[in-house]
Amino acid sequence: VLWGTHKSCHAFHLAPRTLRFPSVSATGAPRWNDHDRPEKFNFASDVLDYWTQMEKEGKRGPNPALWWVNSQGDEVKWSFRELTDFTCRAANVFTQTCGLQQGDRLALILPRVPEWWLVAIGCIRTGIIFMPGTTQLKAKDILYRLKQSNAQSIVTTDALAPEVDSVASECPALKTKLLVSDHSREGWLDFQSLIQSASPDHTCIKSKTTDPMVIFFTSGTTGFPKMAKHSHGLALRHSFPSSREVLQLKASDVLWCLSDPGWILAAVETMIEPWTAGSTVFIHHLPQFDPKVIVETLFKYPITQYIAASSVFRMILQENFGRYVFPTLEHCSTGGEAVLPEEQEKWRQRTGLLLHQIYGQSETGLTCATPRGSQVKPGSMGKAIPPFDVQIIDDKGNILPPNTEGNLGIRIKPTKPIGLFMLYENDPAKTAKVECGDFYNTGDKATIDEEGYIWFLGRDDDIINASGYRIGPAEVENALAEHPAVAESAVVSSPDPIRGQLVKAFIVLTPKFLSHDPDQLAKELQEHVKAVTAPYKYPRKVEFVPELPKTVTGKIKRNELREKEFGQM
């Protein structure tokens, strides 16, 4: 292939720490400010190509833009210049070979392979709206995504191509299927060889800041995932001083964010934020999560900043590796789920490093954080990141006083801030439902103290947050309903010391299965859920019950079951 992989001795020289604030003009002045709304912005041409130019002018050190490794010792290192070259080729593949145009949709379902970044940036260059998805998706999940979005194209691997083929006939809009693989497959285009033969000459579109850039699928309380559509403003926002202040990345930093590429956290922390700063994005392929590999990697490579879900930190602490002084690690952040003060303290004792909480949603991107160097209040997810005006609101959108429990809201009136999602695609009712007075209501319960620090309390609905995954109960209940043993089920969150919350299913069995061995049946149902929908959603706890609590109108009282789990009844 064009770039190949090579074994490496990992010799690496950090760049001089000169470019302190990225996305600055060559004269050093910031190019955008917190409240700027440039009419045109494109992350590829305005940020990536800027760093390519810096490299050409010798104004950026020799560290790569992307540094990818796997456990077999393979390695890929790309400079910004190479990234520009390869992503221009990707753009030409999409427009010339696949016939895609600005505004078309492309499903991007790849594991942590370098091609993910080529596809994402190639889409940004052309205005094709990319839709990341985790590789845990199954045929039905993929069908739903392709149909809902009217996707014209999909990029995936060998592992998922058969799942796509099994549903492709039901997706009339799907024109091209691109495969990232060493093998060919009938009906699929070979992405790597197309990149090789494509021209590196491409003129980036002049996208409006408000043009759509990416869609993230996010679970809701009812029904199937919603499509949270973001504009190019999602990327612009990370050029603002207030966003840069959070991690204070420099061109010499090496940032490793563990998030699966299917989530907004990965788009922001393995692409937008580090490349805005001209930093190195470090990626470990990591098909299976293993805390030992994480610790070894932090020792082996010159990683300066590390971001992962809180469960990952808990799983590392659980291993009892003793004290670890990582040679280059300076800053750790955690997001996707709440972290307890005791856990932050444990991490500090073991590593000498503070664990900074960040908070956001697929709809909002990064919303709150404790900027590097400012006071960490253990248990708090920090302060609002401007231009987001975060307030605690009641159900009518009135701002509540400090230390009062309410909904975490982001002000959208009179002006919607840059970086907040545009809308739920095809769903004006759900878009309207999350508007609450002058605010977007996140649905998360929180308090704010007199100093502006925000404290997460939980959800105000049935959404489950298990090890950083947001899971809608209906998705699991629908999967269970397909099994003949299940008469009906209710899925709720249940507390867990490592994953924060677990998915728990209360199941009423059909008469035929009442005599079955409950342990074996529970395992069978768990495997069934893993087979029909993304396995991260499977119920790790199962309880068989004779009936489910219901209201007089027959609605299942999930809240009653949940409260029982959390010992509130």
When the beta carbons of 91 and 268 are compared against ligand BCO, the nearer one is 268
- Smallest gap from Cβ 521 to ligand BCO, in A, equals 17
Q: Which of 263, 421, 439, 506 binds ligand BCO (CB under 6 A)?
A: 263
Place of tokens 């998915």: 503
Distance between CA atoms of residues 465 and 499, nearest Å: 9
Q: Which of 530, 548, 560, 564 binds ligand BCO (CB under 6 A)?
A: 530
According to DSSP, residue 522 is labeled H
Residues in 136-195 that interact with ligand BCO by CB under 6 A: 136
95 binds ligand BCO (CB under 6 A): no
**CA dihedral angle for residue 82, residue 85, residue 87, residue 92, rounded to 10 degrees:** -160
According to DSSP, residue 238 is labeled G
Q: What are phi and psi of 456, to 5 degrees?
A: -75, 135
**C-alpha separations of 344 from 148, 352, 381, 487 in Å:** 40, 11, 12, 43
According to DSSP, residue 550 is labeled B
**C-alpha separations of 420 from 302, 366, 384, 488, 553 in Å:** 33, 9, 13, 38, 37
Distance between CA atoms of residues 228 and 245, nearest Å: 26
When the beta carbons of 399 and 457 are compared against ligand BCO, the nearer one is 457
468 binds ligand BCO (CB under 6 A): yes
DSSP string, 442-478: EEEEEEE-TTS-EEEEEESSS-EEETTEEE-HHHHHH
Q: 220-259 mask for ligand BCO (x: CB under 6 A)?
A: ---------------------------------------x
- Smallest gap from Cβ 146 to ligand BCO, in A, equals 19
366 binds ligand BCO (CB under 6 A): yes
For residue 283, which of 510, 5, 52 has the smallest C-alpha distance? 5
- Smallest gap from Cβ 530 to ligand BCO, in A, equals 5
Residues in 273-292 that interact with ligand BCO by CB under 6 A: 289
Distance between CA atoms of residues 543 and 207, nearest Å: 52
**How many other C-beta atoms can be found within 10 angstroms of the C-beta atom of residue 555?**
9
| Token representation of residue 294 | 């994480």
Q: Which residue is nearest to ligand BCO (CB)?
A: 360
Asked whether 539 and 529 are in contact (CB, 8 A), the reply is yes
Kind and range of the H or E run holding 516 = none
Q: Which of 49, 115, 211, 260 binds ligand BCO (CB under 6 A)?
A: 260
104 binds ligand BCO (CB under 6 A): no
When the beta carbons of 165 and 190 are compared against ligand BCO, the nearer one is 165
Q: Point out which span in 305-313, 403-411, 413-421, 483-491 binds ligand BCO (CB under 6 A).
A: 305-313
Cα first-last separation, the chain: 60
- Smallest gap from Cβ 339 to ligand BCO, in A, equals 13
When the beta carbons of 438 and 496 are compared against ligand BCO, the nearer one is 496
Q: Point out which span in 92-100, 241-249, 263-271, 557-565 binds ligand BCO (CB under 6 A).
A: 263-271
Q: Point out which span in 80-88, 306-314, 373-381, 387-395 binds ligand BCO (CB under 6 A).
A: 306-314
**Alpha helix stretches (DSSP H) within 68-114:** 80-92
Total binding residues toward ligand BCO, as defined by CB under 6 A: 21
Cis peptide upstream of residue 387 (ω within 30 degrees of 0): yes
Q: Which of 76, 228, 309, 368 binds ligand BCO (CB under 6 A)?
A: 309
- Smallest gap from Cβ 262 to ligand BCO, in A, equals 8
Asked whether 365 and 230 are in contact (CB, 8 A), the reply is yes
Q: Which of 205, 312, 390, 412 binds ligand BCO (CB under 6 A)?
A: 312
219 binds ligand BCO (CB under 6 A): no
When the beta carbons of 67 and 469 are compared against ligand BCO, the nearer one is 469
Asked whether 195 and 90 are in contact (CB, 8 A), the reply is yes
- Smallest gap from Cβ 308 to ligand BCO, in A, equals 7
- Smallest gap from Cβ 324 to ligand BCO, in A, equals 18
Rg (Cα) of the chain, in Å, rounded?
23
Cis peptide upstream of residue 414 (ω within 30 degrees of 0): yes
Distance between CA atoms of residues 569 and 401, nearest Å: 29
264 binds ligand BCO (CB under 6 A): yes
- Smallest gap from Cβ 103 to ligand BCO, in A, equals 25
When the beta carbons of 143 and 205 are compared against ligand BCO, the nearer one is 143
Amino acid at 193: S
Q: Point out which span in 166-174, 298-306, 309-317, 542-550 binds ligand BCO (CB under 6 A).
A: 309-317
535 binds ligand BCO (CB under 6 A): yes
Amino acid at 155: V
Which stretches of the chain bind ligand BCO, using CB under 6 A? 136, 259-260, 263-265, 289, 309, 311-312, 335-336, 360-361, 366, 467-469, 530, 535-536
